[in-house]
Structures are given as C-alpha cells and as structure tokens.
Structure 1
Amino acid sequence: MSMSNEVVAKRYAIALFELAEQDGTVSQIEKEMELVKQLFQDNGLQSFFSHPKITIQQKKAILSGNLKNAVSENVINTLFLMLDRKRGDSIAEMAEQYIQLAMEKERVADAVVYSVRPLTEKEQKEISKIFAEKVGKQELRMRNVINPDLIGGLRIRVGNQIFDGSVSGKLERMKRELAAANA
C-alpha cells in the first residue's frame, strides 16, 4: 500500500462520509462499506480492479453485479468514480478509511476481549459499557477470543490499549514485583 494510495483512499472516504452526514446515512453506509471491504479482501478482487487490461466498463459490470441492491447510490457512484479515475486499487483502503471515520463519529471502538470461555451477550454488553467509558467512547464493538492460557479473568484490547485483568497477567505482575523486591 503506497502512501499516495492511502491519501487517495482517504480523500474519497471523506467525500463519501460528508455526503452520508448530509443524508443521515453514516451508519447505513458503514455497513455497506464492511461489505465492500469483504468483497475486496476475501475474493482477491483487488488485483482484478487494478488490472490495466480489464476495461473500466468490465470492472463496473462486475462491481454492480456483486453489489446490486446491497449498497446505496452514493456508494456505487463513489466506487464508479474511483474506477473512472483508475483508483480501483484504493477501494478496499477507502472502505476501511470510511469505517474509521464513521466509528469516530459514532464514538465506537473495536475491542477484542480475551477470555477462558465464551462470554454471554450480557457479559459482553457489561464489559463494553465499563471499558467504553475508560477510553472515552460510547460503545465498544466486541470480538471475543478464547484463550485458555489466561487461567481466568479477562484481557481487553481497545486500539493500542490493553487492560489485563487475567489471572496469568496478575501472576506475571506478582513475579515481577517479587523479583524487584529481591534485587
């Protein structure tokens, strides 16, 4: 991903985001962008859309075929505009940038919760409430990862912050404190 690629992607994402804000469709389009991102990541469409031998018309046909009725007009228009300007290779990054903008506005952050056993919906909601406040967000989008090595308790990662309330984390801290006391 070249720097210019990222800059280009961000420009389109901001333009689309501003349209969405006017229409009140920020979170709807965010869901559509998840779809676009998946389409490009999972199906290796990235190389297809940046291929110079494939015509813009062919690219548009494939795109609208894959996204028909799944995304709004503003999204399709933005993607077509990117193809017209030979920026097909920036589409996945643009989707990612848009999602980031929407999450900023909605004061939502992605969080990974590591636990020994799967957490219930209720537990995840409670954790989201407590930790969203700690990081100045309204809510956290949780992904629960099972990690038996934790022994018990939880470890939570929000962005680059880690909250470690796991038993193994506590044992680790105790070991360090003992080592320091004996030094």
Structure 2
Amino acid sequence: MSQSVVAKRYAVALFEIGMGKSNLDQLEEELRVIDDVFKNDESLNAFLDNPRVSGDQKKEFIRNVFKDVSQDTLNTLLLLIDKRRIDSIEDVVKAFVEMKNESRGIAEADVYSVRELTDEETKQIQDVFAKKMTINTLRINNTVDPSIIGGIKIRVGNQIYDGTVQTQLKRLEQKLVTANK
C-alpha cells in the first residue's frame, strides 16, 4: 500500500475526531508545528529511524518532546510509532490540511514570481482565482523564482496557471513556427 494512502487513513481519522470536537484549527496548528520539527531536525528523524531504539523509548521521547499538544495529536503520533509509520507524518499533515481546507472552501496556491508580491497583488490574485475556482478563500504561498523573467505561475492542487513571460514567448514561437509551415 502506498505511503500516501496510509497517511490519508490516519489523517481522515484525526480529521473526524477534530470535526467531532470542533478543534480542527488547533489540530492543524499542532500538526504544522510537528511537521516543521520533523522537517528541520535530522537528529529526531535519526533517533526514530534507529532500529536499536525500542518502540517504548520512542514513544516516551515523543511524549516528552510534544507534551504540549492535544491528546488526539499525541495519540496519532504514538500510533504512527506503534505501526512503524512515523516516517509518514509529513503526508499525514498534508492530507489533514487538505481535508480541513476542502471542508471550509479554502484552497492553497503556490505562486511563483520574480519578486516578492505586495499585499495588494496578493489580494488581487486571491480574489480573481477564488472566483474562478468557486471557493471561499485562496491562501497564497509566494515563492520567489529568479528564473521567471516576468509574470507569475500559480499552482493550485494539480492545476497550473502559467502567465510567465517565458511561457508566453514559447507559445508565440510555436504559433510562428506553425504559421510558417
């Protein structure tokens, strides 16, 4: 079974618990912090991947490191350790956030631009694409990409809207080549 399918099962379970307790925002915040810790702390990952460390030692360590998170989040981490799937935590967080956003009509977009977008530009993009996609809110993660000559490229889920100068030049080139045949 693929790791993303497994991760989604854990995310669904935690999402349903959060819906029942009306604490989805808290769970998302905790999961984002945990995800950040796992992404940035190689020693944590090395410890949890070490086959010489027992499951009980790993669980005790997780209880100490993440003692301030809710019991539901902690139980999810402990279950991932029991099932030897703690390496799926990044996928669990991603799946949970996607479900939460979808349930509230929120989408996340990665916007690639040659420079940091201003607040006004960000707001414009949010308004235009929220209407286009019939969603309530569009959250934008702006990434500066110096290889873009001008314009922007937006990725929302599997959809890519490419308005970069480079892409426009390629389209123009294709039209010219086709017209000359």
Q: TM-score, normalised by structure 2?
A: 0.84
Q: Which residue of 2 aligns with 1:11?
A: 9
> Match for 1:49: what amino acid?
L
CA contact (8 A) 1:109 1:139 kept: yes
CA contact (8 A) 1:46 1:92 kept: no
Give secondary structure in 2 for the equivalent of 1:13. helix
* Structure 2 residue 64 is matched with structure 1 residue 65: yes
Distance 1:84 1:170, change over 3 A: closer
- TM-superposed CA distance for 1:128, in Å, is 1.4
CA contact (8 A) 1:12 1:78 kept: yes
Q: Which residue of 1 aligns with 2:144?
A: 146
CA contact (8 A) 1:50 1:87 kept: no
Give secondary structure in 2 for the equivalent of 1:36. helix
> Match for 2:172: what amino acid?
M
Instruction: Note the 1:161-172 alignment, pairs <5 A.
Output: 161-172=159-170
> Match for 1:73: what amino acid?
Q
Structure 1, unmatched stretches of 5+, are none
> Match for 1:63: what amino acid?
I
- TM-superposed CA distance for 1:50, in Å, is 4.0
Distance 1:124 1:52, change over 3 A: same
- TM-superposed CA distance for 1:97, in Å, is 2.2
Instruction: Note the 1:27-176 alignment, pairs <5 A.
Output: 27-44=25-42, 45-69=44-68, 71-176=69-174
- TM-superposed CA distance for 1:19, in Å, is 0.6
Q: TM-score, normalised by structure 1?
A: 0.83
- TM-superposed CA distance for 1:32, in Å, is 1.3
**Partners in 2 of 1:153 and 1:174 — Cα distance?**
15
Task: Give deviations 1:50-90, integer Å, cap 9, x for gaps.
Answer: 43321233212321232222x21210122123323443333
Task: Give deviations 1:21-62, integer Å, cap 9, x for gaps.
Answer: 011111221121111222222223344324332123321232
Instruction: Report the number of matched residues.
Output: 180
When the two chains are superposed, the root-mean-square deviation of aligned CA atoms in Å is 2.3
- TM-superposed CA distance for 1:118, in Å, is 1.4
**Partners in 1 of 2:9 and 2:161 — Cα distance?**
34
